[in-house]
C-alpha cells in the first residue's frame, strides 16, 4: 500500500523505520536515500537542540522521507516545540494511562480535535505562507501521534491507551519493559514476550499500528510475525555494526 505515513499506519501496512539519534542532517539524508519508510528523530536519548531539530527536519523534507520526533516527555510544551518545528508527528515515551494519552492527543491537534496553541509563523505553518485554515486542516488530517508502552504499569490500561481517538500507533519499548518487569537486558524473557503480545493484540483489536524495536534486519521478520507491522531499527546500531565488521575483516587479514 502507498499513501501518507498516517494512512499506512492506520492500514497497519508493513513499514520500516529508523531511530536517528545523532544530530546530523547528512545522516538524515543518507537514511532517506536508503529508502526507509519513515524516520524517528530521537530527542529523548539524542542531543539535538530545538534549532538543530529544525535542520534535521529540513533534511528529511529534502529527501522526501516522513519524520516524526520522539519527545523527551509528554508535556504540551515539548509536543508543541516538535510539531511547530515541522515534525510529521510525535512519538511520546513512557505513557502509562489512557488519560495521559488523551492529553497527548489534545496537545498535538488544533481544535476541534485538541487544544494545541496556534501559530502560523512557524516552520510547520510555512513561516506564515499558509493560511490559518489550511495550516489547521493539514495538521488535523496529517499529524501522526504515537505513544510508547514500556512500563509494566501501562499493561493495566493498555486497552484504554490504544482505544484513544486519533491515536495512530503504539511503540513497545522492549528494553524498558524488560527493566520494568524485573528482567533487565532479557528481551526474550517469557514475561517480556507476553507483554509484547498483549500490546500487539490490543493494537490489532483497536485498529492501530503496533511497532517495536528490531536489533537487526533479520529480526524484522520475527517482529512482523509477532504482530508488529512497524519495525524500527537503530541508526547507531547499523553504523557501529558496519564499522565493527569492516575493521574486524581488515584485522583478520593480518599485517
Query: pLDDT tens-digit profile of 175-217?
Result: 999 999 999 999 999 999 999 999 999 999 999 999 999 999 8
**Confidence (pTM):** 0.95
Give pLDDT, residue 135: 96
Q: What is the pLDDT of residue 3?
A: 86
Give the C-alpha separation, 12 to 212, whole Å.
13
Residues of the chain scoring pLDDT < 50? 1
Instruction: Identify the pLDDT of residue 1.
Output: 46
**CATH superfamily entry for domain 5-251:** Phosphoenolpyruvate-binding domains (3.20.20.60)
pLDDT at residue 55 in the model = 97
The verdict on whether 166 is a catalytic residue reads no
**Distance between CA 149 and CA 93 in Å, rounded?**
7
Burial zone of 209 (CB within 10 Å; 0-12 exposed, 13-18 middle, 19+ buried): buried
**C-alpha radius of gyration, the chain, whole number:** 18
pLDDT of residue 2: 74
Of the residues 45, 55, 126, 183, only one is catalytic, namely 45
CA dist list (Å): 207 to 89, 204, 227, 241? 19, 5, 12, 35
How do the domains of the chain map onto residue ranges? 5-251
Rounded Cα–Cα distance for residues 163 and 148 (Å): 14
Amino acid at each position: 500500500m502507498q499513501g501518507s505515513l498516517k494512512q499506512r499506519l492506520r492500514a497497519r501496512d508493513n513499514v520500516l523505520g529508523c531511530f536517528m539519534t545523532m544530530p546530523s542532517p547528512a545522516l538524515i539524508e543518507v537514511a532517506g536515500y536508503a529508502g526507509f519508510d519513515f524516520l524517528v528523530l530521537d530527542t529523548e536519548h539524542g542531543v539535538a537542540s530545538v534549532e538543530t531539530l529544525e535542520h534535521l527536519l529540513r533534511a528529511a523534507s529534502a529527501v522526501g522521507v516522513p519524520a516524526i520526533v520522539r519527545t523527551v516527555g509528554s508535556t504540551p510544551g515539548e509536543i508543541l516545540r516538535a510539531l511547530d518545528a515541522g515534525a510529521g508527528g510525535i512519538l511520546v515515551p513512557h505513557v502509562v494511562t489512557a488519560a495521559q494519552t488523551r492529553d497527548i492527543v489534545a496537545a498535538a491537534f488544533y481544535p476541534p480535535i485538541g487544544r494545541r496553541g496556534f501559530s502560523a509563523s512557524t516552520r510547520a505553518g510555512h513561516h506564515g505562507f499558509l493560511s490559518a485554515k489550511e495550516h489547521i486542516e493539514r495538521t488535523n488530517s496529517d499529524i501522526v501521534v504515537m505513544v510508547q508502552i514500556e512500563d509494566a504499569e501501562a499493561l493495566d490500561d493498555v486497552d484504554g491507551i490504544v482505544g484513544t481517538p486519533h491515536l495512530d500507533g503504539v511503540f513497545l519499548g522492549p528494553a524498558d519493559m524488560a527493566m520494568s518487569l524485573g528482567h533487565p537486558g532479557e528481551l526474550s524473557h517469557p514475561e517480556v514476550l507476553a507483554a509484547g503480545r498483549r500490546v500487539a493484540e490490543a493494537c490489532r483489536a483497536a485498529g492501530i499500528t503496533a511497532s517495536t524495536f528490531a536489533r537487526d534486519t533479520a529480526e524484522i521478520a520475527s517482529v512482523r510475525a509477532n504482530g508488529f507491522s512497524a519495525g524500527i531499527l537503530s541508526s547507531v546500531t547499523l553504523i557501529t555494526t558496519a564499522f565493527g565488521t569492516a575493521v574486524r575483516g581488515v584485522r583478520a587479514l593480518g599485517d
